[in-house]
Chains A and B, each alone.
Chain A
Amino acid sequence: MSATAVIGIGNTLRRDDGAGVAAARRIARAFPDAHVIAAHGLQPEMSEAIAHCDTVLFIDASIRTSALSVTRVSAGSGATGSDVHAVTPEGMMTIAQQLYGSAPREALLLEIPAFECGFGERMSERTLRMVDSCVQLVAELLRGETTPGILLCMAPAPVHD
């Protein structure tokens, strides 16, 4: 049983949209024994990997925030969506719970602000800095230097109009 799973998603050919994947790859290199997945998007097949974890961290790029943000995710707390190509973090938690009878006790969505999402593989400087911050936060969690609750306080979810 792995204590924490990290899933970074995004399209690496659309510049900052690939921030989640970039963060996950860096975390995988720094923590070779950690359970890290880097992928284009969330898929039902990943549910088994998270079902028996204590904590899961979903990392994605977002155009709705200008600072790194952390939001708590719960099973069934959001739209699960009918498109199997775009399962939401909430949908992943729901699938894990329904198929395997277990979902992580704590699930967080870390959103890295994306500013430039045109064609290309190079991220903007601002997003790159946010990837650094995200990797640092996750590293502290994986080293046991912080907790999901503290992460929520350090990088709260953005306030929307």
Chain B
Amino acid sequence: MTTMSRTITISPVTRIEGHAKITIHLDAGGNVADARFHVNEFRGFEKFCEGRLMWEMGGITSRICGICPTSHLITSAKAGDDILAVAIPETAEKLRRLITLAQWIQSHALSFFHLSSPDFLLGFDSDPATRNIFGLIARDKEFARRGIRLRKFGQEIIEVLGSRRIHTPWAVAGGVREPFGTAQRDRLLAWIPEAKETAQIALDTLAGIHEKFARDIPNFGNFRSLFVGLVAPDGALEYYDGALRVMDGSGNIIADKIDIHRYGEYFGEAAEPWSYLKFPYYRPLGYPKGMYRVGPLARLNICDYIDTPLAEKERVAFKAIAGSAGTVNNSFYYHYARLIELLFAVEKAEALLHDPAMLGTSIRARAMINRRAGIGASEAPRGTLFHQYEVDENGVLTSVNLVIATAQNNLAMNRTVQQLAAQYIDGNTITEGILNRIESGIRCFDPCLSCSTHAAGQMPLHVQLCDAGGRVISEVAR
């Protein structure tokens, strides 16, 4: 009965980093037959970087995004280290670690306070005109102020180290460009007590949210999948280096200590004609069965422990949610994991700022091209990020492959949309609140669709009901 089927389109999806739409396909009975998360922008970075010098990649790839430029910068620099075949100085590594933590702080604060809190504190069904940061300010000024200042702290670390808040070219192959001073260190240390307190307030607030939305949460992308991320050699939560670990949805480690140079053996990328975002998968299980999740939920599931006390205490509570399942499989808990990481990042930044090695002046190893290929990996706020380059003898790029975190969550985001649509849409009553729940399912993953070089403008919610012939039979716009 395909002639009676209908399609619902949500375009663009709001309060995410970039442009996307969701289509929900209904069968003749008004039940959800399929749902898809489409990414309809094309950037082409991999192609137009070919022919550029390897040393330029930090500056170029940091322009990919206005939210996570630092993650691209660091990962690009690490791929450059690999091509130079150098071990960078201790000070340079610790400074890179600090700026990576800063990236987590500013991005995680943005995700929770600016983008998702309006849903939680004002309600999924509240007026969309005020369901934003301004509505949040009106509702709880102190909470909003703290969130804005926490993000500012992350931005300030980046600015202190890299001279700018976004798109800094500070990290380079072999190390970093500028060292760190005591005045800068003391300026950042002064933020720590407030930042730590705010992260804990956010965790307390989220605990109340879990209770408030107890009825909604079970359907927010609750399914088994693989979880993938970097872990430290001793199994600790890692953010800058380490080796890959793959865990199944029952808590079993199915692959461990995978050198990042071998990631291509384990992970493939599929494509679908209806989205520009690729669909990475775990090769041993094939496509699409090899669906996996990366990012905060994955990192908290796969690590053995966190090496900072407050975050470790929260991790233990987080793991208790899993119970006998072995892993926390509900995507709603991305928010919880994200806030634990936020607390971890503040604690870890404090420890690094007290480390005398941070003030060293040996910050860069210099070398010529010693390898024709290099791979860098780090944990971006949204998950594991890979940069893989091939160069000629002069360092001119002949091949570039960027595997971004959001793409690795693509299959899981589609699954989440399908689950939410099936739960809430019955074909007759499609309210704005229901559409927002579906969008909110996507926001659990905090997808970053490379927003920086696009003029986003107004991002209204637009819903179309179409019959099988593509004719619009009903239309709603926010």
Partner-binding segment picked from A39-47, A126-134, A137-145, A153-161:
A39-47
Closest B-chain residue to A95, C-beta based? B137
**How many residues on chain B are close to A (CB under 8 Å)?**
32
Provided the pairs A85-B456, A86-B457 are in contact, do residues A45 and B151 lie with their beta carbons within 8 angstroms?
yes
* Residue contact B456 to A99, C-beta cutoff 8 Å: no
Distance, CA A80 to CA B131, complexed state (A): 12
Q: Which chain A residues (26-63) contact chain B, with CB distance < 8 Å?
A: 39-40, 44-45, 47-48
Point out the residues of chain B lying under 8 angstroms from A95, CB to CB: 133-134, 137, 148
* Residue contact B457 to A99, C-beta cutoff 8 Å: no
Distance, CA A81 to CA B114, complexed state (A): 13
Closest B-chain residue to A85, C-beta based? B456
Point out the residues of chain B lying under 8 angstroms from A40, CB to CB: 66, 166, 452
* Residue contact A13 to B63, C-beta cutoff 8 Å: yes
State whether the Cβ of A4 lies closer than 8 Å to any Cβ in chain B. no
Closest B-chain residue to A94, C-beta based? B134
Closest B-chain residue to A117, C-beta based? B455
* Residue contact B453 to A11, C-beta cutoff 8 Å: yes
* Residue contact B456 to A45, C-beta cutoff 8 Å: no
Point out the residues of chain B lying under 8 angstroms from A84, CB to CB: 15, 110, 114-115, 132-133
Provided the pairs A39-B165, A98-B138 are in contact, do residues A82 and B148 lie with their beta carbons within 8 angstroms?
no
State whether the Cβ of B152 lies closer than 8 Å to any Cβ in chain A. yes
In the complex, what's the smallest C-beta–C-beta distance from A16 to chain B, in angstroms?
A: 14
In the complex, what's the smallest C-beta–C-beta distance from B439 to chain A, in angstroms?
A: 12
* Residue contact B132 to A98, C-beta cutoff 8 Å: no
* Residue contact A99 to B145, C-beta cutoff 8 Å: yes
State whether the Cβ of B459 lies closer than 8 Å to any Cβ in chain A. yes
As a 0/1 sequence over residues 80 to 104 of chain A, the CB contacts with chain B under 8 angstroms (1 = contact) are 1111111000010011001110000
* Residue contact B134 to A80, C-beta cutoff 8 Å: yes
Point out the residues of chain A lying under 8 angstroms from B144, CB to CB: 99
As a 0/1 sequence over residues 137 to 175 of chain B, the CB contacts with chain A under 8 angstroms (1 = contact) are 110010011001101100100000000011000000000
Distance, CA A95 to CA B145, complexed state (A): 9
**Which of A11, A13, A48, A86 touches B152 (beta carbons < 8 Å)?**
A48
Provided the pairs A40-B452, A44-B133, A98-B137 are in contact, do residues A85 and B66 lie with their beta carbons within 8 angstroms?
yes
Point out the residues of chain B lying under 8 angstroms from A47, CB to CB: 148
State whether the Cβ of B458 lies closer than 8 Å to any Cβ in chain A. yes
**Which of A45, A80, A81 touches B155 (beta carbons < 8 Å)?**
A45
* Residue contact A83 to B145, C-beta cutoff 8 Å: no
* Residue contact A45 to B148, C-beta cutoff 8 Å: yes
Distance, CA A107 to CA B63, complexed state (A): 31
As a 0/1 sequence over residues 92 to 119 of chain B, the CB contacts with chain A under 8 angstroms (1 = contact) are 0000000000000000001000110000
State whether the Cβ of B378 lies closer than 8 Å to any Cβ in chain A. no
* Residue contact A99 to B453, C-beta cutoff 8 Å: no
Closest B-chain residue to A79, C-beta based? B458
Closest B-chain residue to A11, C-beta based? B453
**How many residues on chain A are close to B (CB under 8 Å)?**
22
Closest B-chain residue to A17, C-beta based? B455
Distance, CA A86 to CA B166, complexed state (A): 15
In the complex, what's the smallest C-beta–C-beta distance from A130 to chain B, in angstroms?
A: 21
* Residue contact B149 to A82, C-beta cutoff 8 Å: no
In the complex, what's the smallest C-beta–C-beta distance from A45 to chain B, in angstroms?
A: 4
As a 0/1 sequence over residues 448 to 476 of chain B, the CB contacts with chain A under 8 angstroms (1 = contact) are 00011100111100000000000000000
As a 0/1 sequence over residues 294 to 322 of chain B, the CB contacts with chain A under 8 angstroms (1 = contact) are 00000000000000000000000000000
In the complex, what's the smallest C-beta–C-beta distance from A43 to chain B, in angstroms?
A: 8
**Which of A80, A83, A91 touches B459 (beta carbons < 8 Å)?**
A83
In the complex, what's the smallest C-beta–C-beta distance from A111 to chain B, in angstroms?
A: 16
Point out the residues of chain A lying under 8 angstroms from B1, CB to CB: none
As a 0/1 sequence over residues 95 to 129 of chain A, the CB contacts with chain B under 8 angstroms (1 = contact) are 10011100000000000000000000000000000
As a 0/1 sequence over residues 15 to 41 of chain B, the CB contacts with chain A under 8 angstroms (1 = contact) are 100000000000000000000000000
Point out the residues of chain B lying under 8 angstroms from A85, CB to CB: 66, 451, 456
* Residue contact A83 to B155, C-beta cutoff 8 Å: no
Point out the residues of chain A lying under 8 angstroms from B133, CB to CB: 44, 82, 84, 95
Closest B-chain residue to A14, C-beta based? B453
Point out the residues of chain B lying under 8 angstroms from A11, CB to CB: 453
As a 0/1 sequence over residues 228 to 258 of chain B, the CB contacts with chain A under 8 angstroms (1 = contact) are 0000000000000000000000000000000
Distance, CA A44 to CA B133, complexed state (A): 9
* Residue contact A86 to B148, C-beta cutoff 8 Å: no
* Residue contact B453 to A98, C-beta cutoff 8 Å: no
In the complex, what's the smallest C-beta–C-beta distance from B122 to chain A, in angstroms?
A: 12
Provided the pairs A84-B110, A94-B134, A95-B137 are in contact, do residues A45 and B152 lie with their beta carbons within 8 angstroms?
yes
Point out the residues of chain A lying under 8 angstroms from B138, CB to CB: 98
Distance, CA A11 to CA B129, complexed state (A): 27
Distance, CA A99 to CA B14, complexed state (A): 24
* Residue contact A44 to B114, C-beta cutoff 8 Å: yes
In the complex, what's the smallest C-beta–C-beta distance from B13 to chain A, in angstroms?
A: 12
* Residue contact B166 to A99, C-beta cutoff 8 Å: no
Closest A-chain residue to B14, C-beta based? A82
Distance, CA A86 to CA B63, complexed state (A): 18
In the complex, what's the smallest C-beta–C-beta distance from B130 to chain A, in angstroms?
A: 8
Closest A-chain residue to B156, C-beta based? A45
Distance, CA A81 to CA B128, complexed state (A): 11
Residues of A within 8 A of B (CB): 11, 13-14, 39-40, 44-45, 47-48, 80-86, 91, 94-95, 98-100
In the complex, 26 of the A-B residue pairs with CB atoms within 8 angstroms, ordered by the A residue number, are: A11-B453, A13-B63, A14-B453, A39-B165, A40-B66, A40-B166, A44-B133, A45-B149, A80-B134, A81-B458, A82-B15, A82-B128, A82-B129, A82-B133, A82-B459, A83-B132, A83-B456, A85-B66, A85-B451, A85-B456, A86-B457, A94-B134, A98-B137, A98-B141, A99-B145, A100-B145
Please list the 7 inter-chain residue pairs (A to B) with the smallest Cβ-Cβ separation, ordered nearest first.
A82-B132, A45-B152, A84-B114, A99-B145, A44-B148, A80-B134, A98-B137
Apart from A81-B132, A99-B144, 5 more pairs, CB < 8 Å: A11-B453, A44-B133, A82-B129, A98-B137, A99-B137
